[in-house]
């Protein structure tokens, strides 16, 4: 963009933005003639993607602010008024929740008042709540649409919102693309919002709180595999918990407390804080985020350490192993939960005749082996819980067909049962504590059970490599890197030949040695590449849809064996060699 084009875009934004703080921010940049910063804020509109919005908070069309939220919600409200599911009385309704991010409450109210202006009643939480509760609430209130204002585990300068449809799942095709078209068609002068007092008086805005909390907690308890076990022996469990300054504490503490579990919450991280002062990244995937919880766990000799991200849809844990606490990866906890839920429900006779386990194409293959061992059908989807929920929806079309039991993805997201349609760290926390208690009653630890699984099915290890690319130049670098991998895929990785490459975007499988190709499995289009090596290792490359980063997922395994030590060393060496090659590819693309 030229400076004149940037100036015109900035002036248009200033006129349209009703929040003076954000408008003044852009005015100041114009006064300083900070064209580099202004260019980043106006070179494009913040993308309303297939899941919603996410971006850095600030003034501008390429930022999260009241104007961008109101414009996006206007398009969403138009589509909902035309295509949203009707309730029994012929009306349409929305549910909106928010976490503790900067401006989350304001963005949530702004969206609610847009819906009100379009005649759509909105149930708005009276205070911050976690993402899984929003998914549950959409179904509970039989709403047409839902919005969760959150930036999940992103750094403090981010916010965003995710859009849910009437089944409580994030929107998928064709609704997602139709909503995007509506949003793109909204002009600044077309945005309407009702006054808050008027919306309350006319019944188009209703605050919700205790009722939905009670219903959600009851739902969580219904997912227990062995409810008597927790009621009788829950008091024996010493759990250390951190919500990482987010939304999880009230519900996690309530659920575990009502089951008798002793919960010690990290005091410095219990209260919501927009700045996340004690962590660099409020994400339980990052080992550093759980340092304070681990320290407290060691002092208190905890049986389990639990961490949830700010909107409480991701769960990370650590458990005793020898003289210390061992962090459990997202892939490993998924294996343990699949083993416990499917295995014990089979023993107890509560497993459906045709059970289903759903995971993603970048999640460890060990989960498939475990789930199939217990007789479950396994479905693999693209990354993202909206795809898992889409399979759940398809399964429900046949009342006599297979039934969903649980699903997950490697990025610390788990779902048990069908009453929520997104990652649910609250329910997963309860089941994880129950699982740990079950194995202790059998005389073994959680890590002992994981080692038993490796001995039976083979040792599996995964490694994720993430690299951030900020701004316009960063996006261009990521695009060029993916294009390079597509057109000239590596012949080897870590010394092993690349036997085939699956391009998910085009749904084609390519065989580099022969130059041949064939149709893929038809998962749907996504900007993902998968490389399958001669030694059985799988490497996936995927740019994030919500963050300025690209991820490489490495998954390697061995044959089953009783002595794991040598196998673990060999697999780790293989992963290290592949990691070195991938880092070289990234560095070359960054130059």
Annotated active-site positions, please? Answer: 152
Adjacency order of strands within the sheet including 315-321: 262-265, 238-242, 304-308, 315-321, 324-328
Whether the bond into 200 is cis, omega within 30 of 0: no
Question: Is the CB of residue 157 less than 8 Å from the CB of residue 56?
Answer: yes
Tell me the C-alpha to C-alpha distance, in Å, between residue 462 and each of 83, 118, 541, 552. Answer: 42, 48, 14, 10
Across 350-359, b (16+ Cβ under 10 Å) vs e yields: ebeeebbbbb
Structure tokens at 320: 């005793």
Handedness of CA 449, 340, 416, 335 (dihedral sign): positive
Largest CA-CA distance found in the chain, in angstroms, rounded: 72
User: Which residues on neighbouring strands pair with residue 146, listed in sequence order?
Assistant: 95, 164
List the one residue out of 95, 40, 68, 58 whose CA is nearest residue 183: 68
Return the number of other C-beta atoms located less than 10 Å from residue 18's C-beta. 13
- Give 29's strand partners: none
CA distance 504 to 530: 8
Cα 466 from Cα 554, distance rounded (Å): 11
| Tokens read off for 412 | 């610390």
Residue with tokens 């870590």: 494
Give one DSSP letter per residue of 294-330, joined into a string. HHHHHHHT-SEEEEE-TTS--EEEEEEETTEEEEE-H
> Which residue matches tokens 């927790």?
230
Instruction: Please answer whether residues 334 and 412 qualify as being in contact, where contact means their C-beta atoms are separated by less than 8 angstroms.
Output: no
d(CA 418, CA 405): 8
Q: 321 with 307: CB under 8 angstroms?
A: no
Between CA 64 and CA 144 the distance in angstroms is 24
């Amino acid at each position: 963009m030229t400076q004149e084009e940037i100036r015109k875009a900035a002036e248009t934004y200033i006129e349209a933005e009703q929040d003076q703080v954000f408008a003044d921010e852009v005015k100041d940049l114009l006064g300083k003639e900070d064209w580099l910063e202004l260019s980043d804020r106006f070179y494009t509109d913040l993308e309303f993607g297939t899941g919603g919005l996410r971006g850095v908070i600030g003034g501008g069309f390429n930022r999260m602010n009241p104007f961008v939220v109101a414009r996006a919600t206007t398009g969403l409200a138009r589509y909902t008024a035309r295509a949203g599911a009707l309730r029994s009385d012929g009306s349409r309704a929305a549910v909106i929740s928010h976490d503790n991010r900067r401006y989350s409450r304001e963005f949530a109210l702004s969206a609610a008042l847009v819906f009100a202006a379009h005649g759509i009643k909105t149930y708005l939480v009276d205070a911050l709540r976690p993402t899984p509760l929003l998914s549950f609430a959409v179904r509970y209130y039989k709403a047409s649409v839902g919005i969760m204002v959150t930036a999940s585990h992103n750094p403090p300068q981010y916010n965003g919102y995710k859009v849910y449809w009437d089944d409580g799942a994030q929107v998928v095709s064709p609704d997602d693309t139709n909503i995007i078209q509506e949003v793109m068609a909204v002009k600044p002068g077309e945005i309407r919002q009702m006054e808050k007092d008027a919306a309350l008086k006319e019944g188009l805005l209703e605050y919700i709180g205790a009722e939905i909390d009670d219903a959600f907690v009851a739902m969580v308890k219904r997912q227990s595999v062995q409810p008597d076990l927790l009621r009788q022996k829950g008091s024996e469990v010493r759990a250390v918990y951190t919500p990482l300054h987010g939304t999880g504490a009230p519900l996690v503490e309530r659920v575990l407390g009502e089951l008798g579990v002793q919960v010690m919450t990290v005091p410095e991280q219990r209260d919501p804080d927009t700045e996340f002062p004690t962590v660099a990244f409020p994400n339980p995937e990052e080992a550093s985020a759980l340092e304070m919880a681990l320290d407290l766990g060691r002092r208190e000799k905890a049986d389990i350490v639990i961490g949830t991200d700010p909107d409480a849809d991701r769960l990370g844990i650590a458990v005793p192993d020898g003289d210390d606490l061992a962090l459990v990866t997202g892939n490993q906890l998924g294996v343990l939960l699949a083993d416990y839920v499917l295995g014990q429900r089979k023993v107890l006779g509560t497993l459906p005749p045709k059970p289903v386990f759903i995971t993603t194409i970048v999640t460890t293959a060990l989960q498939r082996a475990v789930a199939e061992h217990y007789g479950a059908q396994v479905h693999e989807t693209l990354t993202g819980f909206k795809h898992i929920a889409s399979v759940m929806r398809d399964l429900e079309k046949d009342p006599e067909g297979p039934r969903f039991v649980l699903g997950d993805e490697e990025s610390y997201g788990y779902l048990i049962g069908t009453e929520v349609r997104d990652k649910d760290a609250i329910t997963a926390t309860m089941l994880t504590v129950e699982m740990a208690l079950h194995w202790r009653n059998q005389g073994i630890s959680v890590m002992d059970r994981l080692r038993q699984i490796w001995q039976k099915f083979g040792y599996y290890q995964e490694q994720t490599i993430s690299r951030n690319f900020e701004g316009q130049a960063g996006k261009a670098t990521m695009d060029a890197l993916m294009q390079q991998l597509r057109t000239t895929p590596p012949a080897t990785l870590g010394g092993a030949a690349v036997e085939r490459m699956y391009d998910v975007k085009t749904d084609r499988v390519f065989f580099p040695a022969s130059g041949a190709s064939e149709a893929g499995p038809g998962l749907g289009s996504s900007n993902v590449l998968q490389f399958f090596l001669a030694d059985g290792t799988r490497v996936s490359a995927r740019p994030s849809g919500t963050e300025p980063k690209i991820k490489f997922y490495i998954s390697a395994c061995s044959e089953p064996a009783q002595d794991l030590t040598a196998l673990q060393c060999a697999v780790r060496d293989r992963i290290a060699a592949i990691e070195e090659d991938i880092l070289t590819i990234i560095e070359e693309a960054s130059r």
